[in-house]
Structure formats: C-alpha cells, structure tokens
Amino acid sequence: MDKTLASGARKCWFDSSRAHNNMINLEKLQKALSDQKPYRLKQAYKALFKDLISDWDEATVFPIELRERLNKECPLDIKTGEVLEDKDTIKAKIILNDNLAIETVLMANTRGRNTVCVSSQVGCPMGCLFCATGRMGFKRNLSFSEIINQIIFFARMGKDVDNIVFMGMGEPFLNYDEVIKAMRMINDKEGFNIGIRHISVSTIGIPEMIERFSRENMQVNLAISLHAPNDKLRTYLMPTNVGLEKLFESIDLYIQNTKRKVMFEYLLIDGVNDDKECAQELANLMKKPLYFLNLIEYNPTGTKFKPSSEKNKKIFKDVLIENKIQFTERYRFGQNIKAACGQLIVK
C-alpha cells in the first residue's frame, strides 16, 4: 500500500521535474497562474475542488500549452502511505514533499455524509501526556495547501464531505495564519463550499489566539480541550497549561465578542480526572451560558493511562446531572482502526 498515488497511474513513469511533488501545491498554482487573467485561477479551483481532476489534461477549459505547463509546475498527485478502512472510518497517511507524513481521518456522520478530521502540524509541541501526537514531538507547521490536500484526497475517493474538524495532529492555534487561510478556502464558494458552521477547531487553549480568533468574524465552532478542572491536574496532564484563570478569561471574551457557544472537551481517564471531586469542580466551571461540555472516551495509545471504568463514568455523570450541567458524549469513531482524532501517530 505504501507509496501509492491517490490519483492512480500517470502517463510518465519518471519525470525529474516532478520529484518531491508528493502533493498539490496551491501556492505554486497561484504563482503559475499569476501571468494569466484572474478567471483562470477560478477555473483551476473549480477543476480541483468540484470536478476533482487529477491531471491538468482533464481541465479542458484551459489551452493545451497551459495544461502542459501546469502538469509540470503544479502536478496533482497526492502521495499516500497506509490507508486503513473500517465500516465508518478511513484513516490515511499522507506523505508531504519533504517526506514527513501526517494522518487524516474521514468519518461517516449522522447526515449520511462525511466529516474529515484534518491535521494542522506534523507532530505537536504541546506534549500532553495522554496524546499520541504530543509524544511524537514537533516537526513543523503545515501550509494551508497541505491542509486542503487532506480534504481533496477523500473527495477524490468519491466521498461527500460536508464537515471539517481541525482535530487531527497538531495544535491549530500554533499555526494560526495557515489554519485561517485553509478555513476560508474550505468555506469559499470557489473552494469546497462547506458551510462555515460545519467547520470546527479544537485547541488546547492559547489565550492570545482565542482572543484573536474572536475578532475574525468567522462562525467556525470553537472547542477547548480542558481535560482537567484545576490547574494542578491540568498542568500534570498538559504541561503547557497557561492557567485556567487566564484561559477562561479569554474564552469569556470570545463569547462576549462572538455570542457563540464554546464546546469544552473532557477526556475521562481512569483514576486521574474521573472522581467525584473532579466532577464537582468541573460542574462549578461549566455553570455559564454558552458553555457546553463533551465527555470523551479515552482511547489508549500506549501510555500509562486507561479509559474510565463504567462505574466511575456513572458516578461522574451523576454529579454533573445533580448540578444541572448538560453534556454530550463523543461517539467513538474509528475505534477499530485506531483512527479517532487525538490518537494519530505516524510510525
């Protein structure tokens, strides 16, 4: 399965000008068309995002010379490694131009369409103890183009994608500009045309970035990975914790500026953050309008941590219910192929 090209066999077996062109480079495409009339870029985007072409020869609106030049300067292969399929999930390893790899996941959603969980960095510098990506360390940020390729890859498989979550590898708010650029392209009518409310971003919680995000005037859903109800425990699990007071100040400012709800994610880890006291502390934190809580089942990823027992979960949830805190529980996507967001690791 390794070293397969998502777009299938190509005419040339070897073309040195295509070396290290493992994926579509949208920056290069913009450059290549900068000497053309502006409508050419629009046509190129339509060909890429709607017609899902995998060779510029298929873009018949373009003159032949332009197609040839684009095939040289901006080829459309997406090189993948392992692609694992389960009944409702596909996990793909995508090989970047510098031969680093990222993982991206497609999950069937309740609307009968699909959600793509995209990566924003190769690895992650935040080092959360429970997270497979965190334990990989940090390699580099992804460009907006590398983010968009993850969606094109699944669209080319014939998947109808109507929801995007920035919950794959990496901390999106440490790669803010490229992530915002990718969000705009995902939402753009000439891009993927996916409704802005169908885009979500999950962050460990970087106050300056949350404040900046609150001024973007974008209706993207915001999720905060909380995972602990006090600083002692949060700093143990997430060593880059900035302190809950500062974090919640920025969240309240976000709500004040946007009037949008915020989803708090709380992993239930056996014997670590799942006792009655933690539940009560969490309930106290969650008593604000537009705060929503999502309890997440911990997926073991070779760490010392285990998912909470059914008994502990029940006790935990009872405390929340007594405190009239509404919560949801995240469905365990891709459990069989180890594809759930947050447990992505490139071996």
Query: Which positions are catalytic?
Result: 103, 341
Within a 10 A sphere around the Cβ of 318, how many other Cβ atoms? 12
**By the rule CB under 6 A, 203 interacts with ligand SAH:** yes
Interface residue with ligand SF4 among 225, 241, 250, 308 (CB under 6 A) is 225
Q: Where are the beta strands (DSSP E) in the chain?
A: 4-5, 79-85, 89-95, 101-108, 114-117, 121-123, 138-141, 161-166, 199-203, 221-225, 262-268, 291-297, 327-329
**By the rule CB under 6 A, 343 interacts with ligand SF4:** no
Considering only residues 204 through 263, tell me which ones interact with ligand SAH, judged by CB under 6 A: 204, 225
**By the rule CB under 6 A, 341 interacts with ligand SAH:** yes
Within a 10 A sphere around the Cβ of 257, how many other Cβ atoms? 14
Q: What are phi and psi of 118, to 5 degrees?
A: -95, 150
**Whole-angstrom distance, CA of residue 274 vs CA of residue 3:** 43
CB of 168 to ligand SF4, least distance (A): 8
Total interface residues for ligand SAH by CB under 6 A: 19
Site string for ligand SF4, 97-136 (x = CB under 6 A): ---------------------------x-xxx--x-xx--
CB of 33 to ligand SF4, least distance (A): 35
**By the rule CB under 6 A, 175 interacts with ligand SAH:** no
With CB cut-offs between 5 and 8 Å by kind, which of ligand SAH, ligand SF4, none does residue 298 bind?
ligand SAH
**By the rule CB under 6 A, 272 interacts with ligand SF4:** no
Both tokens of residue 95?
């090989």
Kindly tell me which of 75 and 123 has the beta carbon lying closer to ligand SF4: 123
With CB cut-offs between 5 and 8 Å by kind, which of ligand SAH, ligand SF4, none does residue 80 bind?
none
The residues near 82 (Cβ < 8 Å, ≥ 6 apart) are 1, 2, 91, 92, 93
With CB cut-offs between 5 and 8 Å by kind, which of ligand SF4, ligand SAH, none does residue 81 bind?
none
What residues form DSSP beta bridges with 265? 225, 294
**By the rule CB under 6 A, 130 interacts with ligand SAH:** yes
Both tokens of residue 230?
């006090």
**Whole-angstrom distance, CA of residue 26 vs CA of residue 151:** 13
Both tokens of residue 347?
């071996």
Within a 10 A sphere around the Cβ of 8, how many other Cβ atoms? 10
Kindly tell me which of 25 and 241 has the beta carbon lying closer to ligand SF4: 241
Kindly tell me which of 291 and 298 has the beta carbon lying closer to ligand SAH: 298
Considering only residues 278 through 307, tell me which ones interact with ligand SAH, judged by CB under 6 A: 296, 298-299, 301
The backbone region for 310, taken as left when phi is positive above 0, alpha when psi lies in -120 to 50, beta otherwise, is alpha
Query: Rounded to 5, what percent of the chain is helix, strand, coil?
Result: 35, 20, 45
**Whole-angstrom distance, CA of residue 6 vs CA of residue 150:** 11
Q: Contact, 253 vs 211, CB < 8 A?
A: yes
Using the 8-state DSSP alphabet, how is residue 270 labeled? T
Query: How many residues comprise the chain?
Result: 347
Site string for ligand SF4, 185-204 (x = CB under 6 A): -------------------x
Kindly tell me which of 129 and 253 has the beta carbon lying closer to ligand SAH: 129
Residues lying near ligand SAH in the complex (CB under 6 A) are found at: 124, 130-131, 167, 171, 202-204, 225, 265, 267, 296, 298-299, 301, 340-343
Residues lying near ligand SF4 in the complex (CB under 6 A) are found at: 124, 126-128, 131, 133-134, 170-171, 204, 225, 342
